[in-house]
Amino acid sequence: MSSLSITFFSPPPHQIFRSTPPSSIPFSYTNCSKTPSLTTNIRANNTSKFGSFLHLKPVHKPQTLDFDLPLLHSSDHRPRKFDVVIIGAGPAGIRLAEQVSTYGIKVCCVDPDPLSLWPNNYGVWFDEFEDLDLHDCLDKTWPMTCVYIDDGSAKYLDRSYGRVSRSKLKEKLVGRCISNGVTFHKAKVWKIEHQEFESSILCDDNYELKASLVVDASGFSSDFIDYNTKHRNHGYQIAHGILAEVEEHPFDLDKMVLMDWRDSHLGNEPNLRENNKKRPTFLYAMPFNSNLIFLEETSLVSRPMLSYMEVKRRMEARLRHLGIRVINVLEDEKCLIPMGGSLPRIPQNVLAFGGNSGVVHPSTGYMVARTMALAPVVAGAIVECLGSTRMIRGKQLYAKVWDRLWPIERRFTREFYCFGMETLLKLDLSGSRNFFDAFFDLEPCYWQGFLSSRLSLMELASLCLSLFGHASNLSRFDIVTKCPLPLARMMSNIALESIG
Ligand SMILES: Cc1cc2nc3c(=O)[nH]c(=O)nc-3n(C[C@H](O)[C@H](O)[C@H](O)COP(=O)(O)OP(=O)(O)OC[C@H]3O[C@@H](n4cnc5c(N)ncnc54)[C@H](O)[C@@H]3O)c2cc1C
């Protein structure tokens, strides 16, 4: 058994599950030098009514890292030549720049604001970052995670979860980039032109760069990548998140709340409750201490996308019911992640990496740990082509790097994860509860491997059988009635991939 399953009866809303004394986890919100520590209380000047926090403006302003970056000067208009130009200094772009430059490859990273702190709040499984020796870039870890299935039962999962310290991770990667000789250019790329063995990258400050390989790591709304189909048929994860200073909250401090599917907060909201039954949302929560918590109301995947306003209203009702009074919103985020959908055309002259490359987990929306792990693999292919001993460029280079990013087995397994997404899209609240009840009862190697995208096709097939074995009769009925179409689509896509 992978999870400890407990059953309880609903306690009064304001007293749910408080156990660890508030002061037991010393936590200063971030080690980023420019962020005020929350242990020095930011005083409440506009405390919310219970649950109603939407009018509060985030206290924290966007921050930047304190680095002396080797920048290109816009006054120098001679084209500069690099082996690799990477568009975007998000987690994907910076990680790839760091990895490729380790081998002496000449890299330039272009971003309008390369030192700005990444805006999103990233969570990862601790073991994923530990395997990559990046666990020192987590600013908080929880030894366990928790999934509330409904008002009567919860599962405690024996897998640690961490919150990425955006400042530590970016500092570490940018620091290595600088010592490896990466150059940065502060601009937006607006055009790329290709010759046989070289590409010209034109920036919005009229600067021109030349490179043997261009990598587009500009995030989900990339302009430079072609996809297999025009209509990509994404599912969307949409969520509203706040890092909030609160008077109190009911969650255990040693458990990260991965999913809270309870819906008793919608008892007095018939419309919201009906909609939530059909297209459910859950709460994702990272309790840092008894007064500081990250809360995110999340629609795991929807198509068409669930309304953002609906998500916020459900969150308001939930916080009110949980007795969470928000004193200050320190940060807020609108999370919108396209999931699944067709892959980029493989190969093409520009390599996609990160959000635009199809590596987002189609059933969960996670990507950061996977991108960190894939960067050395892709860097290896780049080095084999552009490193000192070999000079493979043009079509051969593009084919090799794309193949390393998306070898055929990985494309097959992605089809499986997309099948997972299509299945989730068909589940209502009760179906989602049954599904996750069975899913987190699987052997840890299955549910952990699935969530971390590390299962082979065979393992995924055995996971399905095992899931069917663990499922309740209702859930089996759901699987039998709702899955054949997505299953047929997956099989035909796999067949097409294998002949194409
Ligand atoms: C709110 C939110 C929360 C998320 N939380 C998680 C999470 O907890 N765990 C997880 O694994 N994943 C999470 N994700 C998914 C995913 O990991 C993130 O979206 C991640 O930021 C994607 O990284 P990226 O480097 O591909 O793109 P981005 O982070 O979007 O970075 C792209 C960079 O490229 C720059 N850029 C764009 N266009 C150009 C151009 N033309 N020229 C030059 N530069 C350009 C941008 O300014 C930006 O700096 C989250 C996503 C969102 C939106």
pLDDT in tens, 348-407: 999 999 999 999 999 999 999 999 999 999 999 999 999 987 789 999 999 999 999 999
Compute, in angstroms, the gap from residue 91 CA to the centroid of ligand 1.
Answer: 7
Question: And the tokens for 446?
Answer: 């299955």
Helix 368-386 vs helix 91-101: crossing angle, to nearest 10: 40
- Tell me which of 2.160.10.10, 3.40.50.300, 3.40.50.1370, 3.50.50.60 is the CATH number of domain 80-118+164-230+344-406: 3.50.50.60
> For residue 389, what pLDDT is reported?
74
Helix 484-499 vs helix 408-425: crossing angle, to nearest 10: 160
Cβ–Cβ under 8 Å, residues 353 and 96:
yes
Question: DSSP per residue over 357-369, as a string?
Answer: GT-S-TTT---HH
Q: β-pairing, 161-164 with 123-125?
A: antiparallel
> For residue 491, what pLDDT is reported?
67
- How much is the average pLDDT of 288-312? 97
Question: And the tokens for 162?
Answer: 């961490």
Going by CA atoms, what residue is nearest to atom 16 of ligand 1? 367
Q: Report the b/e string of 354-367 with b at 16+ CB within 10 A.
A: bbbbbbbbbbbbbb
Q: Find out whether the beta carbon of 366 lies less than 6 Å from any atom of ligand 1.
A: yes
CA-116 nearest atom, ligand 1:
49
> Look-up: residue for tokens 């609903």?
10
Compute, in angstroms, the gap from residue 59 CA to the centroid of ligand 1.
Answer: 22
The SS3 assignment for 279 reads coil
When comparing pLDDT for 495 and 266, which is higher?
A: 266
Sign of CA dihedral 401, 221, 93, 172: negative
**Residue 273, Cα to own-chain centre: how many angstroms?**
28
**Candidate from 361, 367, 370 with most ligand 1 atoms within 8 A of CB, to mutate:** 367
Residue 156 has pLDDT above 50, yes or no: yes
Q: Find out whether the beta carbon of 184 lies less than 6 Å from any atom of ligand 1.
A: no
Q: Find out whether the beta carbon of 111 lies less than 6 Å from any atom of ligand 1.
A: yes
Q: Find out whether the beta carbon of 123 lies less than 6 Å from any atom of ligand 1.
A: yes
Residue 15 has pLDDT above 70, yes or no: no
Compute, in angstroms, the gap from residue 485 CA to the centroid of ligand 1.
Answer: 32
Q: Find out whether the beta carbon of 56 lies less than 6 Å from any atom of ligand 1.
A: no
Compute, in angstroms, the gap from residue 355 CA to the centroid of ligand 1.
Answer: 6
When pLDDT is cut at 50, 70 and 90, the band that residue 32 belongs to is very low
Compute, in angstroms, the gap from residue 442 CA to the centroid of ligand 1.
Answer: 32
What DSSP element (H or E) covers 474?
helix 473-482
Going by CA atoms, what residue is nearest to atom 29 of ligand 1? 90
pLDDT tens digits, one per residue of 426-480: 999 999 999 999 999 999 999 999 999 999 999 999 998 898 887 777 777 777 6
Beta strand ranges found along 38-143 (DSSP E):
80-87, 107-111, 123-125, 138-142
Residue 21 has pLDDT above 80, yes or no: no
pTM: 0.90
Cβ partners under 8 Å of residue 269, min gap 6: 317
Helix extents (H) in 180-324: 270-278, 308-322
Compute, in angstroms, the gap from residue 182 CA to the centroid of ligand 1.
Answer: 20
**Candidate from 121, 207, 218 with most ligand 1 atoms within 8 A of CB, to mutate:** 218
| Domain spans of the chain, in order of start | 3-61+235-339, 80-118+164-230+344-406, 410-499
What is the pLDDT of the chain when averaged over all its residues?
88
Peptide bond into 347 cis (omega under 30): yes
pLDDT tens digits, one per residue of 127-138: 999 999 999 999
Residue 16 has pLDDT above 60, yes or no: no
> For residue 51, what pLDDT is reported?
55
- How much is the average pLDDT of 177-205? 96
Cβ partners under 8 Å of residue 146, min gap 6: 154, 155, 156, 157, 252, 255, 256, 257, 258
Q: Find out whether the beta carbon of 91 lies less than 6 Å from any atom of ligand 1.
A: yes
Q: Find out whether the beta carbon of 89 lies less than 6 Å from any atom of ligand 1.
A: yes
What DSSP element (H or E) covers 337?
strand 326-339
CA-334 nearest atom, ligand 1:
1
Q: Find out whether the beta carbon of 215 lies less than 6 Å from any atom of ligand 1.
A: no
Cβ–Cβ under 8 Å, residues 289 and 209:
no
**Angstrom distance (rounded) from CA 105 to CA 98:** 10
Compute, in angstroms, the gap from residue 288 CA to the centroid of ligand 1.
Answer: 24
Cβ partners under 8 Å of residue 390, min gap 6: 384
Q: CB 252: neighbour CB atoms within 10 A?
A: 17
Q: Find out whether the beta carbon of 164 lies less than 6 Å from any atom of ligand 1.
A: no
When pLDDT is cut at 50, 70 and 90, the band that residue 330 belongs to is very high
What DSSP element (H or E) covers 415?
helix 408-425
CA-355 nearest atom, ligand 1:
26
Q: Find out whether the beta carbon of 116 lies less than 6 Å from any atom of ligand 1.
A: no
Counting Cα atoms < 13 Å in the Cβ hemisphere of 119 gives 13
Q: Find out whether the beta carbon of 114 lies less than 6 Å from any atom of ligand 1.
A: no
Compute, in angstroms, the gap from residue 197 CA to the centroid of ligand 1.
Answer: 29
pLDDT tens digits, one per residue of 214-250: 999 999 988 899 998 878 889 999 999 999 999 999 9
Beta strand ranges found along 102-254 (DSSP E):
107-111, 123-125, 138-142, 144-150, 153-157, 161-164, 183-186, 189-194, 199-203, 208-216, 235-246
Compute, in angstroms, the gap from residue 28 CA to the centroid of ligand 1.
Answer: 25
What DSSP element (H or E) covers 300?
strand 292-302
CA-353 nearest atom, ligand 1:
26
CA-118 nearest atom, ligand 1:
29
